Amino acid sequence: MATIIKAIADRIIAGKYSEDAPSRIVEYTNAWGKLSYGVTFGQQDKDTYLRETGFVRNPKIYWDKK
């Protein structure tokens, strides 16, 4: 799992980095009030960024590989 910027999230959605097997991107507000994107890969728990914490607020699915 990794936190990325929107430009990278959009490249993943466009098919770049497919060799890394991205499975889901979640958009959320971070602890400092900024919009962030969390990506999970392969067999990682896709719900990781959907769980609210002190660092992940208001998460929603931005992209999900079907």
Q: What is the pLDDT of residues 29-64, one digit of tens each?
A: 999 999 999 999 999 999 999 999 999 999 999 999
- pLDDT of amino acid 10: 98
- pLDDT of amino acid 1: 76
Would the CA dihedral through 51, 32, 63, 8 be positive or negative?
negative
pLDDT band at 66 (very low <50, low <70, confident <90, very high): confident
- pLDDT of amino acid 53: 96
List, in order, residues 6 or more apart from 6 with CB less than 8 Å away: 35, 37
pLDDT exceeds cutoff 80 at 25: yes
Q: Which residues of 43-54 are buried (b: 16+ CB within 10 A; e: fewer)?
A: eeebeebbeeee
List, in order, residues 6 or more apart from 53 with CB less than 8 Å away: none
What pTM, to 2 d.p., does this model score?
Answer: 0.93
3-class DSSP assignment, residue 15 = coil
